[in-house]
Chain A
């Protein structure tokens, strides 16, 4: 489905979309605020602390073009998403725009890339990379022992930020940053609600959420609220609905293709989606505990969770969103979802489900994919 005029006619939407579509230009724009920039690579990076430190968090998006560095340095086991992220870090397109790079343990492959980058710095004399840190959260196992570890990791990261900025970071500054981020999450949840009413396309939601990563939080929140206000009166998309899981999408290409085939993704479990705004960071006398707890306990990503947990939360997401179908889309070598699915299938009963494996960037056989989605849309219509 082509982008709708109601969305394009909304200036807040267009501003968000423009930043999401051109992240390099967006970071250049952001730097005008005079703050040093921190790239966040990993879904569970505690941006509250980065903001509290007076730094500007920037979400790392992959590079969508030729990826010669990824092809040179990475094994084939790194799927399309990781290849894009690595390429963006090393190909020079962000030169001079990024001061720090924070990698986080939301996938083993990020950890591996962190080791590779450290090694490249040691081995290649002329290699220039931002100053790096690793936030070693463990999120799969939900128990007190792991929670304590995550508190320790949070405090360690706070100390890293102190050493980078040379300043103390007070609890009050952390609370203020938590407030900013929570308000932003609340604004994005309005988008989540409108998606579920089928008033916002999945691709539009990506532009809104992804674009908001490239503004200062307050401005981003204002823009998202402005879009939500406008979207209240947007028309129903008229498409059949689906929940998406699988390889993270960082451009709207796939969602648009799905929409053109007659399906709207109204909920998903990805960061540039519902997951980012799920839950709020609470505020207790020890904010590092609150932050650790939030990132530990939020909606389980497939990369860092158990089959049993996902067999509860994915059907619940589908039920809550009232989606008519379920799509699992996997890049080649990003296929851990296959271990989740049989159990979910048992829980979901006869819900129409489409599982697509072994995909690459750029997408191969686009027309074949489109046919698959289109015939799936017909099946969903038939089932409803």
Chain B
């Protein structure tokens, strides 16, 4: 494990993340028991319709979130070295390869929370050239049956997608594309039923989807509250874990309760006029994957500059891109409209750039830090356009190039220096 010369754990200000963290750990321990008793266990990509699994009571772990856990537990360097020992490289695809690396671990039980159990099934999207191979290798290594959801090009480009996503999603995604994804979901249901012996109950799916809508509505309220409250009652370090962990269980009542709990806590702080950064002078927006192995990084700039990171995609995606109303009319289609558009929001221009600009305005942002993953060969969000769009609207942007999952490759000194320089040379002068 890499030696740390700096603090990586953020200071916890809220109770909800403690609750979600404890539950997650407990759930994971219980997962080992369930699998031992012969239950199926799925390993899925973050862009998969996990609501189906929830509705069928099939426990699952999300690939990228598992990476985040490994990363937060500072185990990334250990796992990536296992890849190198197996003849691969330890400096590439860290965000997607952690689970495969775990499958090569001679001591899997020493992994986070007792280690990743061997999945019996895996569901993935049609990812990049490396992604499909890594998933294949992982499935083979664990002995999991795999289902691959095909992707379908988004032909329709609509301005201000968030005005459509809740109710006018058929217009947003397009009928042809929705037909396609609805069929993919039907094929996935067949696969799940065949592999697990369980049957999808449509009423249970409706209940799950309605729970998701309720949960995400709390995120919407929380996001809006943070956006309008200056100084902000919380920063991203307070919310990311609470949101990520509950999103993992989205569709359950527990997840709704946690989303509500988060909102209630943030609201209470706002009502009391309590600020996460009492001397808040600057509000920053973080674009990109979370820095799970070093959440303290976000807090580093609070004391020196009164700079608060108030925005990441984790809460804001919940707020804007998950809610799909009209569940009862056709639950599978409704689910298709959600999951197929999640990636588009982040990666397809101008969906992403327009959204970041809208969020920067609403959240009263002074500067943007944009993390570009260095070792992802498939990174491509038209970053040029994101930067230009934000700068044009008066939001200075700082680009950080780093590996978001592997602590060993992180240069704290360089990154802190880069952001400090950015704050001093661009954000503060721009604010005056």
Report A's interface with B, CB cutoff 8 A.
72-79, 105, 107-109, 111-112, 114-116, 118-119, 122-123, 134, 136, 138, 140-141, 145-146, 149, 302-304, 306-308, 333-336, 338-342, 345
Contacts and interface: CB of A to CB of B under 8 A. Distances in A.
Given A108-B378, A334-B377, A138 B150 contact: yes
Nearest to A112: B380
Contacts of A141: 126, 148, 150
A349 to B, nearest CB: 15
A105 B153 contact: yes
B428 to A, nearest CB: 28
B172 to A, nearest CB: 16
Give the residue among A108, A145, A338, A339 with the most B Cβ atoms within 10 A.
A339
B132 A79 contact: no
Nearest to A341: B87
B183 to A, nearest CB: 8
B87 A336 contact: no
Contact of A339 (B88, B148, B350, B378): B88
B349 A304 contact: no
Contacts of A146: 150
Contacts of A79: 377
A149 B347 CA distance: 23
Interface string B182-223: 000001000000000000000000000000000000000000
Contact of A122 (B150, B350, B401): B350
B350 A123 contact: yes
B5 interface: no
Nearest to B180: A149
A101 to B, nearest CB: 15
A303 B150 contact: no
A107 B380 CA distance: 13
Given A75-B372, A308-B136, A334-B377, A108 B129 contact: yes
A217 B296 CA distance: 62
B346 to A, nearest CB: 12
A91 to B, nearest CB: 16
Contacts of B413: none
Nearest to A310: B133
B134 interface: yes
Nearest to A78: B380
Contact of A140 (B132, B347, B348, B385): B132
Given A75-B379, A140-B126, 19 more contacts: A77-B376, A79-B377, A108-B127, A109-B380, A115-B348, A115-B382, A119-B385, A123-B350, A134-B155, A140-B132, A302-B129, A304-B129, A306-B136, A308-B140, A335-B92, A336-B130, A338-B88, A338-B92, A342-B88
A24 B176 CA distance: 37
Contacts of A339: 88, 130, 133-134, 137
B73 to A, nearest CB: 25
A341 B87 CA distance: 8
B136 A342 contact: no
A76 B373 CA distance: 10
A72 B384 contact: yes
Interface of B: 86-89, 92, 126-130, 132-134, 136-137, 140, 148, 150-153, 155, 157, 180, 187, 347-350, 372, 376-385, 401
Contact of B380 (A72, A77, A304, A336): A77
Contacts of B350: 119, 122-123
Contacts of A123: 350, 385
B400 to A, nearest CB: 13
Contacts of A308: 136, 140
23 contacts: A75-B383, A77-B378, A107-B129, A108-B129, A109-B378, A109-B380, A114-B153, A115-B347, A115-B382, A116-B380, A122-B157, A122-B350, A138-B126, A138-B150, A141-B150, A146-B150, A302-B129, A307-B136, A307-B137, A308-B140, A336-B133, A339-B133, A342-B88
Q: Is the interface of B mostly helix, strand, loop or mixed?
A: loop
Contacts of B347: 112, 115
A111 B153 contact: yes
Contacts of A122: 157, 350
Nearest to A103: B153
A114 B136 CA distance: 27
B129 A342 contact: no
Given A77-B376, A141-B150, A149-B180, A336 B349 contact: no
Contacts of B128: 108, 336
Give the residue among A75, A335, A338, A340 with the most B Cβ atoms within 10 A.
A75
A311 B380 CA distance: 29
A302 B129 CA distance: 7
A334 B152 CA distance: 23
Nearest to A133: B155
Given A108-B128, A303-B129, A335-B377, A145 B349 contact: no
A73 B384 contact: yes
Contacts of B380: 74-75, 77-78, 108-109, 112, 116
A340 B88 CA distance: 9
Contacts of A72: 384
A115 B349 CA distance: 7
Contacts of A304: 129, 132
A299 B372 CA distance: 34
A376 B132 CA distance: 31
A134 B153 contact: yes
A339 B128 CA distance: 12
Contacts of A108: 127-129, 378, 380
Contacts of A78: 380
B128 to A, nearest CB: 5
Nearest to B148: A141
Nearest to A116: B382
B137 A118 contact: no
B18 to A, nearest CB: 37
Nearest to A138: B150
Given A111-B153, A134-B153, A304-B129, A145 B187 contact: yes
A338 B93 CA distance: 11
A83 B307 CA distance: 37
A342 B377 contact: no
A138 B134 CA distance: 18
Contacts of B137: 307, 339
A67 to B, nearest CB: 14
B133 A307 contact: yes
CB-CB nearest 5 A-B residue pairs: A336-B129, A342-B87, A339-B133, A119-B349, A112-B380
Contacts of A118: 157, 349
Given A122-B157, A123-B385, A345-B87, A306 B132 contact: yes
